[in-house]
């Protein structure tokens, strides 16, 4: 069992990335590197956040039907947003598989994997570091240079970076007529409270 041994937990989850599509392996590797870079700046355990990074996208390549089947098999009832955009299920599915099938017991690592797409209010520091590493890894910034300033902000002001990222992303989803998961909105309001803002 990997409990209490982050190095073993890393190896368990890293091994699960063998055989994933190369585009996904590339992204996961960059998120691991970004998590390792941010960990000392955020004063979180670098090994536990790296473990979460290895595990976060193990179901990212599943199509909508496959994710809905996985959710059903795991007893997850998709909410309205997840029904409209099943990709929102890839974090919860990975976390539940890790917990029920792979023996992962580290609750903060499991939470980081589960909420990496939406965040959640009061998310743990490990979950926050993974969220930012995932959204701001170098290829994401290259594809959307407007993220560069938020990546810099994330070095020393993670809650402010979370707020800036979600403000931007939610506005993009609304402008394009896309689905916004309620947890993303709740996380945005929590981030606002963390930086001394006032909830509307």
Binding site for Fe ion (CB under 5 A): 57, 60, 134
* Structure-derived torsion over alpha carbons of residues 137, 133, 13, 67, reported in degrees to the nearest 10: -80
Residue 146 has what DSSP assignment?
A: G
Q: Which is nearer to Fe ion, 180 or 192 (CB)?
A: 180
Q: Which is nearer to Fe ion, 27 or 192 (CB)?
A: 27
Q: Which is nearer to Fe ion, 70 or 134 (CB)?
A: 134
User: From the CB of residue 18, how many other CB atoms can be counted at a distance below 10 Å?
Assistant: 7
Is residue 183 within 8 A of residue 154, CB to CB? The reply is no
Q: Which is nearer to Fe ion, 62 or 190 (CB)?
A: 62
Shortest Cβ distance from residue 198 to Fe ion (Å)? 31
Shortest Cβ distance from residue 147 to Fe ion (Å)? 14
Q: Which two tokens stand for residue 40?
A: 């000392």
Measure the CA–CA gap between 45 and 199, rounded to whole angstroms: 31
Shortest Cβ distance from residue 90 to Fe ion (Å)? 6
- Cα-flanking dihedrals φ and ψ of residue 135, to 5°? -85, -20
Shortest Cβ distance from residue 200 to Fe ion (Å)? 29
């Amino acid at each position: 069992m990997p409990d209490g041994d982050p190095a073993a937990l890393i190896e368990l989850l890293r091994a699960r990335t063998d055989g994933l599509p190369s585009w996904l392996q590339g992204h996961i590797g960059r998120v691991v590197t970004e998590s390792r870079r941010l960990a000392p700046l955020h004063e979180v355990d670098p090994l536990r956040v790296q473990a979460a990074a290895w595990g976060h996208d193990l179901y990212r390549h599943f199509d909508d039907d496959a994710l809905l089947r996985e959710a059903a098999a795991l007893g997850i009832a998709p909410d309205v947003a997840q029904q409209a955009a099943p990709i929102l299920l890839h974090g919860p599915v990975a976390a539940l598989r890790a917990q029920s099938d792979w023996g992962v017991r580290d609750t903060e690592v499991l939470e980081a994997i589960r909420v990496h797409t939406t965040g959640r209010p009061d998310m743990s520091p490990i979950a926050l570091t993974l969220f930012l590493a995932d959204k701001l890894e170098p290829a994401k910034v290259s594809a959307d240079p407007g993220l560069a300033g938020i990546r810099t902000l994330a070095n020393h002001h993670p809650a402010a970076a979370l707020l800036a990222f979600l403000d931007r992303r939610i506005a993009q989803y609304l402008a394009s007529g896309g689905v916004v998961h309620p947890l993303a909105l709740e996380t945005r309001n929590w981030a606002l409270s963390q930086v001394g803002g006032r909830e509307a």
